[in-house]
Amino acid sequence: MTFSADLALAVPELILAGSALFLLVAGAFAPKRTLLVGTGAVLALAAAAAAAAVSPVGKAFGGGLVSDAASTFAQVAIYAASAVSIVLGQRWFARRGVDNFEFPVLILLAALGMGMMVGAADLISLYVGVELQSLALYVLAAMHRDNAKASEAGLKYFVLGALSSGLLLYGASLIYGFAGSTKFAVIATAVHGGAGTGVLFGLVFLICGLAFKVSAAPFHMWTPDVYEGAPTPVVGFFAGAPKLAAMLLFARILTEG
What is the structure's pLDDT at 2?
A: 65
Q: Which H helix or E strand runs over 2?
A: none
Segment 101-122 mean pLDDT: 91
Q: Where are the alpha helices (DSSP H) in 144-222?
A: 148-179, 184-190, 197-213
Q: Is the pLDDT score of 146 beyond 80?
A: no
Q: Is the pLDDT score of 5 beyond 80?
A: no
Report the distance separating Cα 228 and Cα 159, nearest Å: 17
Classify the C-alpha dihedral 15-45-133-247 as positive or negative. negative
State the average pLDDT for the chain: 88
Report the distance separating Cα 57 and Cα 45, nearest Å: 20
What is the structure's pLDDT at 43?
A: 95
Segment 80-86 mean pLDDT: 93
Q: Is the pLDDT score of 81 beyond 90?
A: yes
Q: Is the pLDDT score of 91 beyond 90?
A: no
Please give the model's pTM, rounded to 2 decimal places. 0.90
Segment 36-42 mean pLDDT: 89
Q: Which of 81-90, 111-120, 212-221 has the lowest mean pLDDT?
A: 212-221
Segment 85-96 mean pLDDT: 86
What is the structure's pLDDT at 82?
A: 94
